[in-house]
A and B are shown apart, each in its own frame.
Chain A
Amino acid sequence: MKLNLKIWRQENATAKGKIVDYPVDGIDGDMSFLEMLDILNEQLVEKGEDTIQFDHDCREGICGSCSLQINGEPHGPDKLIATCQLHMRSFKDGDTIYIEPFRAKAFPVIKDLIVDRTAFDRIQQAWGYVSVNTSGNTVDANTIPVEKEKADESFNAATCIGCGACVAACKNASAMLFTSAKVSQYALLPQGRVEATERVKAMVRQMDEEGFGNCSNTGACEIECPKGISLENIARMNREYLAASTKG
């Protein structure tokens, strides 16, 4: 396969970036998208040029490192996958592919396709945990039975990989899906209920401080989410937040 890649290059956070053309040849359908970029980078090394920097690590869709905007879509055209699981069989010979970093005010570009997503870390630091000591003993695990349906729902929310696709997909660059997934995971479990009021307030406060936008209610985040995190989580967070606010 021959492809015409148009890739965002940007030296650092303050430099002006631009799209640069990179034609590539000999791409096989069984290659992953990132392996295709490896091949391009290998060619750049041969020419002595600085390689294209992009975040990636596990390459099996679970670490949440990869973060490319491919032809305008976070993680590219296929559904329910991260960029590293996208295979070149999803493209055709002669295609032009635009590759850009995730775009959001709260995710400044570091270099080329790499963005700074530490805002997500800070939202979780605000109260994305159960305040239990990790040293010493707690109660036996089976003394806290949890309704299977709730446990499964909590698990589904907890499968968020923190990649930021929801933010990149949203026209308001909102982090509601991400934040609500974490709020939901805990809100659905008895262990998490104890601090639910304070948690939702603290996490939402941090989310706003980071400069993420308001929910657009368009559901683009759910469509682009590689883990299929449901919009219901946003509804749940709104209910939790409302309830918390009335408690004062």
Chain B
Amino acid sequence: MSVLDSKIPKGPLKEKWTNHKNNINLVNPANKRNIDVIVIGTGLAGGSAAATLAELGYNVKTFCYQDSPRRAHSIAAQGGINASKNYQGDGDSDYRLFYDTIKGGDYRSREGNVYRLAEVSGNIIDQCVAQGVPFAREYGGYLDNRSFGGVLVSRTFYAKGQTGQQLLLGAYSAMNRQINRGKIKPYNRHEMMDLVLIDGKARGIIARNMITGEIERHSAHAVVLASGGYGNVFFLSTNAMGSNVTAAWRAHRRGAYFANPCYTQIHPTCIPVSGDHQSKLTLMSESLRNDGRIWVPKKKEDAKAIREGKKKPTQLAEEDRDYYLERRYPAFGNLVPRDVASRAAKERCDAGFGVNKTGQAVYLDFASAIERYGKEKAFTSGNKNASKEEIIKLGKEVVASKYGNLFDMYQKIVDQNPYETPMMIYPAVHYTMGGLWVDYNLQTTIPGCYAAGEANFSDHGANRLGASALMQGLADGYFVLPYTIGNYLSDDIRTGAISTDSPEFEETEKAVKERMDKLMNANGNKSVDSYHKELGLIMWNKCGMARNAEGLKEAIEEIAALREDFWKNVKVPGTANSKNAELEKAGRVADFLELGELFAKDALHRNESCGGHFREEYQTEDGEALRDDENFKYVAAWEHKGKPSDAVLHKEDLVFENIELKTRSYK
């Protein structure tokens, strides 16, 4: 076991990034023209990195599995993006954003990285506004903010419930400008199948053209992986159907360490599962917790009657409702961080208070918000003696203007009107804090291979705060990577173009083709989805919101056995040389079957509870997570050694010089 060097610059926290930038090697514009960079993924991190690298002068090739870069899953982010602008004058600052993020992450992230994130956050908003991103505004024409979980200030910028869409389209427009200039060459409907290493450095990729099935070689001086997270290892998640771990996992198999795979975010406000046919879960933005109150019936018999359809939630009197978050966490109430809110929902449902047919749901109720807004609206519009009906009508209008699209979405899926009856929600897998280990420069343990956005592990510790994923993706892509990658590439100004006619490309391509042949020829009788669903169930039941040693040990064995069975009995119809969704899925599920095991192994080794990782053996008397800073204040980075069970642990000790480690309290 070695100790990993995070390369965090020396000096005071506030000066680290500035000093680092001042001391970084630069590449002159003429030389940049001779350097190629490959970017995998075109979401917020990949899209913004590609645009900026191209603008700086590098030759960029982007790869995405979708038909257009604009469809990357960042598009689905709803609530907003944090920035420490302090436009509201409510006491926000870079330090407070930094502090909230470290605390929210349960003290399992790096101070240096997180401070840098807070420091560049304001610049992201400036940049996006300049690009024409239509953020929500107040009547005075200035930008509006709202509040999110785990914080006491309003620092979230938003564009209704479609902030991710607007930011991604901004990054996509910046990409388009560079595509038009010929500086970015987009390879859409292309999937990275493997990473090519020459002399230990990342020098290119093998990709599959998903229309023709052709296996292609692409070389570059550096490869940026911005391929997103691995939440789909659970089969059911809020991720897009195609979201996958393959690019990151292939790099892991080639030598990039994989950090903290067990840190997974289970988002508290998703639409509950409706049946076995379910293919994915839909998130209801956390912003709803600003105004919605979460509750379950106080009495078990009421919960039972509701489950059986004999009672309606609206029939329950105020005193028969348990607003359990407000009860347990009076200071933060419904705005506790996601991990806390999710576990609390699970606790109530496990105890028999759940609603919905399945008993796996709690209420998110807007009745009091409707009334409060209605009164305010009536008052400000001069109607000082408004009737109850008038108030409710006005209140519904206000709520619709804030969350209309989310309410519509809910109604379409569940077939119930959330203006009239409380929404039903339940936690679902949403985001993965773990990912490829990177140093301060966002470089993985493979020289020349970088990871950005959700694909890396760096900024969120064991739990991510709401509206911080968009911030990190764009920070990495617009403001961090373009600097730090230059330091590495400055050694490559004399290298010249990298040939793809090398034995390394040859061998890697051969391995890719053999793997695909193996999948095509397994000739079993079980579909890829059936394996994926089986894996998902193991993950959800044994590596989900609560884990214990026994279950994790079982999961490790079960996943290994499932993987073996997969390679023998999977059935992939069609051909390899045309569009074949089954083959695409098969390759991704094969990688999930390896990652899943490492995930469980990581969760088993971490004998503490922190953030999204909750081990039942380690909890306080009142059921809160019990951290063990003495033994686990480190990043667990796993080195691939043939198979997940043989993976070797490397530790990066987390040093806290500016923040005192405390038990996280939201009470």
A in complex with B: yes
Interface residues of chain A, those whose CB is within 8 Å of chain B, are: 11-12, 28, 30-32, 34-35, 38-39, 41-42, 44-46, 48-51, 53, 55-65, 78, 80-81, 85, 87, 89, 110-112, 114, 116-118, 120-121, 124-135, 137-142, 144-148, 151-152, 154-155, 158-159, 161-162, 185-186, 189, 191-192
Is the CB–CB distance between B73 and A118 below 8 Å?
A: no
Residue of A49, A58, A138 near B127 (CB, 8 A) is: A138
Given the interface pairs A130-B132, A141-B125, the reply to whether A62 lies near B162 with Cβ below 8 Å is yes
Is the CB–CB distance between B134 and A151 below 8 Å?
A: yes
Q: B131 an interface residue at 8 Å Cβ cutoff?
A: yes
Is the CB–CB distance between A132 and B240 below 8 Å?
A: no
Is the CB–CB distance between B141 and A145 below 8 Å?
A: yes
Between-chain CB contacts (< 8 Å), 20 pairs: A34-B279, A44-B573, A51-B581, A51-B582, A57-B66, A59-B240, A87-B412, A87-B413, A87-B415, A114-B579, A121-B70, A121-B188, A124-B176, A129-B173, A129-B177, A138-B126, A138-B130, A142-B142, A142-B143, A155-B134
Is the CB–CB distance between B578 and A111 below 8 Å?
A: yes
Complex interface: chain A residues within 8 A of B76 (CB): 58, 60, 62-63
Chain A nearest CB from B79 CB (Å) reads 13
A34 and chain B: residue at smallest CB distance: B279
Interface string of B575-595 (1 = CB under 8 A from A): 100111110000000000000
Most chain A CB inside 10 Å of its own CB: which residue of B67, B127, B169, B176? B67
CB contacts between A and B, total, < 8 Å? 224
Is the CB–CB distance between B279 and A38 below 8 Å?
A: yes
Complex interface: chain B residues within 8 A of A147 (CB): 141
Q: Which of B407-445 contact A (CB under 8 A)?
A: 408-409, 412-413, 415
Q: Which of B264-294 contact A (CB under 8 A)?
A: 274-275, 277-280, 282-283
Is the CB–CB distance between A130 and B173 below 8 Å?
A: yes
Is the CB–CB distance between B173 and A57 below 8 Å?
A: no
A56 and chain B: residue at smallest CB distance: B241
Is the CB–CB distance between B241 and A57 below 8 Å?
A: yes
Residue of A135, A138, A158, A162 near B56 (CB, 8 A) is: A135
Complex interface: chain B residues within 8 A of A49 (CB): 573
Given A50-B574, A118-B188, A124-B172, 15 other A-B contacts at CB below 8 A? Answer: A45-B527, A48-B571, A51-B573, A80-B408, A81-B412, A120-B68, A128-B176, A134-B174, A144-B130, A148-B138, A148-B139, A151-B135, A151-B137, A152-B134, A162-B70
For the complex, give the distance between the alpha carbons of A11 and B579 in Å.
9
Complex interface: chain B residues within 8 A of A61 (CB): 409
Q: B487 an interface residue at 8 Å Cβ cutoff?
A: no
Range class of the B interface residue count: 35 or more
Complex interface: chain A residues within 8 A of B129 (CB): 138, 141, 144, 191
Given the interface pairs A42-B527, A134-B127, A148-B141, the reply to whether A55 lies near B67 with Cβ below 8 Å is yes
Is the CB–CB distance between B527 and A46 below 8 Å?
A: yes
Is the CB–CB distance between A140 and B126 below 8 Å?
A: yes
Chain B nearest CB from A112 CB (Å) reads 8
Is the CB–CB distance between A48 and B573 below 8 Å?
A: yes
Residue of A53, A141, A158 near B169 (CB, 8 A) is: A158
Q: B462 an interface residue at 8 Å Cβ cutoff?
A: no
Complex interface: chain A residues within 8 A of B379 (CB): none
For the complex, give the distance between the alpha carbons of A41 and B529 in Å.
10
Complex interface: chain A residues within 8 A of B529 (CB): 38, 42
Chain A nearest CB from B410 CB (Å) reads 11
Complex interface: chain B residues within 8 A of A59 (CB): 240-241, 279-280, 282
Shortest beta-carbon contacts, A-B, top 5: A145-B141, A129-B173, A155-B134, A50-B574, A138-B130
For the complex, give the distance between the alpha carbons of A145 and B135 in Å.
11
Interface string of B551-564 (1 = CB under 8 A from A): 00000000000000
For the complex, give the distance between the alpha carbons of A126 and B176 in Å.
8
Chain A nearest CB from B283 CB (Å) reads 8
Is the CB–CB distance between A28 and B277 below 8 Å?
A: yes
Complex interface: chain B residues within 8 A of A58 (CB): 71, 73, 75-76, 240-241
Q: B525 an interface residue at 8 Å Cβ cutoff?
A: yes
Given the interface pairs A80-B408, A145-B142, the reply to whether A30 lies near B275 with Cβ below 8 Å is yes
Is the CB–CB distance between B275 and A28 below 8 Å?
A: yes
Complex interface: chain B residues within 8 A of A48 (CB): 571, 573
Given the interface pairs A11-B578, A85-B409, A110-B211, the reply to whether A129 lies near B188 with Cβ below 8 Å is no
Interface string of B90-131 (1 = CB under 8 A from A): 000000000000000000000000000000000101111111
For the complex, give the distance between the alpha carbons of A49 and B527 in Å.
12
Q: B84 an interface residue at 8 Å Cβ cutoff?
A: no
